Every structure is written in C-alpha cells, then in structure tokens.
Chains A and B, each alone.
Chain A
C-alpha cells in the first residue's frame, strides 16, 4: 500500500474507511461512542452477578441493561454469545453506513476479517460446564457450534450474504490491526472490492473471572487503586471492557465510483513481536517501537505529521512504561499529544485499535483531543504529553497502538479525509530519531 501523500494527491488505491459501527459501554452505535467521549464519561462500572462474585475484581467497562430482543427479537439472535450479538450489531451499522450492496457481497466482492481474543469463551465455558455437570451425551449441539472462534464471522457472512474470503484472527489485542493489514492486502491485490473488518471482545462473567484469576486485572495489588489510570504512577492493572467495532474498507476509487464518502484514510500499519515469552512484554518496548516506525514509514509520515497518539496503554505497570519508552525513542522530545482511551472504555482487547480509529474520526469531526481519565500522579517513567483535559485541536493524522501480553505489538496510522490528503510536506522517520 502506498502512502497517500506520495504524490501530494490522492491515489486511486488509497485505502479508505467508508463505514463505522460501534457497540461499547457507552451504548449501541457510533453516535453513542462520540457522545460518551465528548462528555468525558467513563464506561467503568461495578459488576454484579455470580461470575463477578467469584472474582476478586469487581469492575468492568460494560454495556448495562443490554437486552438482545430490543435489537432483534428472534430466538436465533437471542441464543448467540453476547460478543457475537455485539459483532453483528456493529457490522450491521457499518455496512448500512457504507451502503455496501448485498449484490456485491453475494458476488464474492466483499470479504470479512473478524478479530477477537475470547468471544467464544462464553459458550465454551457454558458447553464444558454442561459436560462436567450432565456428561457428554446431554450437551446441546447448538451451543457447541458457538464455541468455535469463527462463529461470529460465519453468522455475519450468512446475515449479509458475504461469499468472499472470511477470516477470524485470535492473536489477542493486536488482532484488530492485523485484520486491517490483511484487509488492505486483499484490496491491494484486487481480491475483493470491500472488506468488513469487525473486532469484538466482551466482559461477560466467565471472561471477567478468567481475567481476575490471571491477576493482570485491577487491582493487581490489593488495596491499590481499582480504576484504570494509564501512565499514572498509581496504576495497578487494567479494567476489562467490552466493545465491538466494525469498519468497512475499500479503495478510494471504489468508494468514489459508488458515490460513498470516506470517513478516514488508512495510511499505514506495522506489526512486531517482542519475543519475550508468553505473558511478557519487553521492558523497553522494542516491539512497540518497531511497529510504530513501520506504520509511519508505510504511511510516509514523519514525527511532525502525527498530531495525536491513541496509546494502547491499559494501566499495567510494565506495558504502559514499555509503550512510553517506545514513543520517546521514536518521537524524542517532540512527542505528540497522547491519550489512553482505555481509561474510559476499559481493555477491549482485539477491538481496541478499531475503536481508536472510530474515536479518531470522532475527534476529527469535533476538533478535540479526548482526554485520559483518572490521571493524577505523574510517573517519571512515562514522560509523555498526556492529554489530561480535553483539548481543542484540528486533528489531521493519528497514530493508534496496540500491545498485548506475550509481546505482540501493532500500530496503525489514519488521516482525515476532507482536506488532509493534500497536506504536506512530511518529515522523515530519519529526522525523528536523530
């Protein structure tokens, strides 16, 4: 994929996003996300229920009072996993917004890449619980089919008649950006005309309990702060969240020919791995640094071009510091404003980066930089220009990061569509690190 600034004009094969669908703790729909962020709200709430009672952590950023029948009153929809329901809802919104014709989907011209870390876990635990309780002959096959990780993608394909390629990624928190990269490659090779990228993870009770026992979830140290406060010296683990985000990608020429307005351009992406072993980050953020540099290089963006960074920071002691160090090495003293949105929406795992892109579009529209919540105590290990209160700003180009337990990291660069494509000149990565 060429950087869209290559020739100071828009190239036909520039990748653009023409549809966005969102479900978060703020509510159902992209507008609910915008309203929540603009109002500086948090989705983090106290959890109830049996699953939460077994768990020492009681907070999560989840969607309250969600009743599936309010969205679709069918037995089929009602029996799906919560994450599958969210995925379908977000995809419905994105496809509707992008006006993707069903005929295009059923003509194998639309692909789907779905990413999730643990959407299938809800039904897997339900199914396994029945095996232990009733024995293997009395379980429900309709539950088994929902334990398969690609079940949400298959439901989406059937619902929208998508007969092009369909993939499901389970790489963890970097999955959302990996999905965007694969979608871009499909478009670049002309395999399809549009790709729906949907990413979802949910804070259902079994998942919540699993994270609690993993001891990464706040409070890691009992008695410490239970809020998500990325880059804050008091940070004490992440708060699990839930979200589904769907983005429709196509080339600029495809969008133009269909008469659809792009919401934002996808300019570049990069992925790397720390290689430190399961559950670990590199303490200095080497992988994160590599993925940021790769994304900026593909986007033909220099340090001065990045107007805002949406950090992957989740309020973990090592992860936040790793990302801060990576950003400092790339940007040196010219670190752009940085916001850690997980302070408001929780750790939404695979959906994180797609959610950041949706938030970036909202920030471009409202001309604000959303703030990092709960930040009170400066951490000298995280020297960044952290956005602690909402700032008015014209946002042109945004870098979004994802990093994940086990060492995976990924970055993506997006740029506003209206007039940003004609902007220049860029500084170079070599200038950044000098």
Chain B
C-alpha cells in the first residue's frame, strides 16, 4: 500500500503542448520566454514571460473551448493527456468514480475575474456572470472532473509557488493511506495583471533574461501552463499492466514562519523540507543524483536554496547536479511544483538532465553544479523536486526510477 507509481504525465507549457516535445526542448536548452500578449504590458519594466500558445481541450466542443477560462483549458488538456497516456481511458465508470483530482494554483481563473471586475466598475448593469463563476479557484477542477467523469475528491491547493507540489504530496499521502488507488495531481497557472503587477512592484521581476544562480541574476520572469501526473498504487498499476515513469517515494513539507514574501535567509525551512522528503523516502543524500531546483533567479531565493541544499545534503551537495527549468519556461507559480516534478521524473526516465540556461557568471554564494546551459546525460536513481512558496511554504518531492 505504501508504494505509489507515476503512470501518466500530461503538460502544456511554454516549450510544448506534449510531454515529449517539452522535455526534448528542455534538454536542448530552449528559451521559451517571449513577449506577453495576454494583456497590455507597456507600463511594466518586464514585458516578457513564458507564454503558452492557444490550446483546445479535446473533450470540449468549440463553443465550450470558447467559454472556458484559459486556466481550465490548460488543466483539462494536461489531465486529458495524462489520463490517456496512463491507459485509463477504457476503465469502468465505477473506477472513474473513485479517482480524485488534486491541483495547485495561485490564481485559478483570476484573469476572468479581472474581466468581471472591469465590467463591474464600468457598467454594473452589463455585468456577465460567466467570468465570476470561472474565477473560482475550483472551477477548473470542476470542469476537468466533469469531462473525465471522475467522482473522487476534488481538492485545490493554493500555497503560492509550492501549491502543486503540495497537491502531488497530498495525493501521494491519500493513496498511501489506502483512501484511493489512483489520483490525478498537478497544477495550473495563467497570467493575470494582479500577479504581474504584484511581482513587478515587489521588484522581483527582471527586464533581463532569467538567470537562476548566476551572479548577474536580477529576478524572475513569470510563466504559465499546467502539468498533471497520474499517481497509482503500486500493485494496482502492475496488475493492470501500466508502464510507470517513476516511483514517488517521499514528500517533505514545512513552513518558514519567517516572512510574508522573503525566504528564510539560511534556507531553514527549505532544508528541513528536503531532509523530511529524504526521510520519508527512506533514502540518504548519497542516493540523490539530481535536484530540480526552485531556482527563481531572485537574489534572495537562489542563495537561500543553495544554503538549504548544503545543509540538508551535506558535503555531497556540491557533487549533485542542480538545475532550474524556470530559466526556460519562467516561474509558473502554482504550477511550478508540478513542472519541477515533470522534469525530475523525465530526467529519471530518459537518463538526461535539463540545463539551467542563461548562466554566464558564477556567484560565489551559489557554488553548486547548476548544469549550465547544456543538458547532460546521466543515469539517475533518485531525483528531488524543490518548491518554495511566498509566505514560507516549502515542499520537496522525491522520485526514484522504477527498479532503481
């Protein structure tokens, strides 16, 4: 009962609309950042982001695709792919009725909420209710549950940038506790003016390229997208002949209790989360072959994360490759944990590590192996995925190769 496999993956992100194209682009070190056209960015210093092209969910009609929020489309597309890839399309309605969906998001459909609010301010009598319904953070889950005919738990996590990592961790716990055999877990995020303005006014965003762990790093670039994992109880997956990507073996979660927006400078909570994930998985630092970092490229985060890795992995930290895929897709906020999980799982499966791009100048305070600019072939037994959120919410997931 304690073993849980990843038997399906689906994603839409700035590098591609499928798992295969996305990871191939990651390994190539492709820069997915371009000018944002979701709203007017002329008043901002940073005009770029990790943008996803228009998507259309297969299970939605043309009309439904027009009506659905972009967040719902992202989530549904990723969930449809993960569900089909896991070979679940033909399972019985009874079994679907027990499958739940655990997602993380920071904003949900806030972009539509902004539309509602503008209408409310300009002409209250002309207000349309559709944006209001769609802005609820659970609306994307409700649509996905409906279209995939799922009847289990539908839980939405909103712990800022660690939201989807927590969603995956809690789904993992639910299966381990014997409350489910299969769960879909992941995250989704879209651009919104509120978040864009917020990070801008906090001076967290850069007008330069996003350069995690580089001495010249000057901030993050936002991104959007969705990633969904199918988690499945080990025996159940084997019994139905599923082809697992990897095994999820550990989940560590802590709170900094330190500051609303800044990470703990010594990476205290982050280090504890890493150690908890290792302990939960019954593994030691020597078992870890790769870390997909939170790596936002803000001056404070990257130093704190480097310190956290050193505190938790000890002397081995300097020999373990650490890379940030945010350098290629931007910071997808609530979806970032699931994006990191995707990179960790595929790195295990393909024995290849995506690089940290835009890395030019080493920072003495960030002195680990950040896999600069070029992907690397390496057999990986265990990979960690770090997520550290606003308000001090830390979550680390541990994955292991099947049979490793």
Chain A nearest Cβ from B347, distance in angstroms: 26
User: Any chain B CB within 8 A of the CB of A390?
Assistant: no
User: Any chain A CB within 8 A of the CB of B55?
Assistant: no
Contact of B390 among A148, A182, A404 (CB under 8 A): A148
User: Any chain A CB within 8 A of the CB of B118?
Assistant: yes
Contact with A along B353-384 (1 / 0, CB 8 A): 00000000000000000000000000000000
CA distance A186 to B166 in the complex (A): 13
Chain A nearest Cβ from B88, distance in angstroms: 15
Segment of B11-19, B241-249, B250-258 engaged in the interface with chain A: B250-258
User: Any chain B CB within 8 A of the CB of A66?
Assistant: no
B139 x A406 contact (CB < 8 A): yes
The answer to whether residues A150 and B158 also contact, given A137-B43, A162-B257 and a CB cut-off of 8 A, is yes
Residues A337-371 near B (CB distance < 8 A): none
A277 x B142 contact (CB < 8 A): yes
User: Any chain A CB within 8 A of the CB of B225?
Assistant: no
Residues B115-149 near A (CB distance < 8 A): 116-118, 120-121, 124, 127, 129, 132-134, 136-139, 141-143, 145-146, 148-149
User: Any chain A CB within 8 A of the CB of B87?
Assistant: no
A182 x B170 contact (CB < 8 A): yes
Chain B nearest Cβ from A197, distance in angstroms: 14
User: Any chain A CB within 8 A of the CB of B157?
Assistant: yes
A209 x B197 contact (CB < 8 A): no
Looking at B43, B101, B159, the one whose CB has the most chain A CB atoms below 10 A away is B159
List the B side residues contacting A124 at CB < 8 Å. Answer: 110, 113, 194
B197 x A189 contact (CB < 8 A): no
B44 x A150 contact (CB < 8 A): no
A278 x B133 contact (CB < 8 A): yes
User: Any chain A CB within 8 A of the CB of B151?
Assistant: yes
Q: How many residues of B contact A (CB 8 A)?
A: 74
B193 x A136 contact (CB < 8 A): yes
A145 x B156 contact (CB < 8 A): no
User: Any chain A CB within 8 A of the CB of B32?
Assistant: no
The answer to whether residues A165 and B134 also contact, given A148-B106, A154-B260, A278-B139 and a CB cut-off of 8 A, is no
User: Any chain A CB within 8 A of the CB of B58?
Assistant: no
Contact with B along A138-181 (1 / 0, CB 8 A): 01110011011111011101101111111111111010001000
A139 x B201 contact (CB < 8 A): yes
The chain B residue with its CB closest to the CB of A106 is: B257
CA distance A147 to B134 in the complex (A): 18
A54 x B157 contact (CB < 8 A): no
Contact of B158 among A164, A170, A276, A287 (CB under 8 A): A170
B391 x A153 contact (CB < 8 A): yes
List the A side residues contacting B110 at CB < 8 Å. Answer: 124
B132 x A210 contact (CB < 8 A): yes
User: Any chain B CB within 8 A of the CB of A271?
Assistant: yes
User: Any chain B CB within 8 A of the CB of A135?
Assistant: yes
List the B side residues contacting A132 at CB < 8 Å. Answer: 117-118, 121
Chain B nearest Cβ from A89, distance in angstroms: 19
Size class of the contact patch on chain A: 35 or more
List the A side residues contacting B156 at CB < 8 Å. Answer: 169-172
A172 x B138 contact (CB < 8 A): yes
B136 x A117 contact (CB < 8 A): yes
A273 x B153 contact (CB < 8 A): yes
CA distance A54 to B120 in the complex (A): 9
B198 x A408 contact (CB < 8 A): no
B255 x A149 contact (CB < 8 A): no
CA distance A279 to B131 in the complex (A): 12
CA distance A140 to B198 in the complex (A): 9
B142 x A271 contact (CB < 8 A): no
Chain A nearest Cβ from B283, distance in angstroms: 17
The answer to whether residues A163 and B255 also contact, given A127-B198, A157-B392 and a CB cut-off of 8 A, is yes
List the A side residues contacting B170 at CB < 8 Å. Answer: 167, 182, 185
B198 x A166 contact (CB < 8 A): no
B143 x A278 contact (CB < 8 A): yes
User: Any chain A CB within 8 A of the CB of B261?
Assistant: yes
CA distance A213 to B96 in the complex (A): 34
A141 x B202 contact (CB < 8 A): yes
The answer to whether residues A209 and B390 also contact, given A131-B194, A163-B254, A278-B134 and a CB cut-off of 8 A, is no
A406 x B142 contact (CB < 8 A): yes
A163 x B194 contact (CB < 8 A): no
User: Any chain B CB within 8 A of the CB of A128?
Assistant: yes
B137 x A170 contact (CB < 8 A): yes
B194 x A275 contact (CB < 8 A): no
Contact of A178 among B139, B155, B253, B389 (CB under 8 A): B155
A167 x B157 contact (CB < 8 A): yes
List the B side residues contacting A148 at CB < 8 Å. Answer: 106, 158, 160, 390-391
B193 x A161 contact (CB < 8 A): no
List the A side residues contacting B295 at CB < 8 Å. Answer: none
A163 x B256 contact (CB < 8 A): yes
Chain B positions within 8 Å of A, measured between CB atoms, are 43-44, 72, 97, 100-101, 106, 108, 110, 113-114, 116-118, 120-121, 124, 127, 129, 132-134, 136-139, 141-143, 145-146, 148-160, 166, 170, 173-174, 176-177, 193-194, 196-198, 200-202, 253-261, 269, 272, 389-393
The 9 closest A-B pairs by CB, nearest first: A154-B391, A406-B142, A144-B198, A165-B253, A149-B158, A166-B255, A170-B137, A271-B153, A277-B146
Chain A positions within 8 Å of B, measured between CB atoms, are 54, 106, 108, 112, 117, 124-125, 127-129, 131-132, 135-137, 139-141, 144-145, 147-151, 153-155, 157-158, 160-172, 174, 178, 182, 185-186, 188-189, 209-210, 213-215, 271-279, 286-287, 290, 404-408
Pairs across A and B, CB under 8 Å, 12 listed: A112-B255, A144-B198, A149-B158, A154-B393, A157-B255, A157-B257, A158-B257, A213-B127, A275-B149, A278-B72, A278-B134, A407-B142
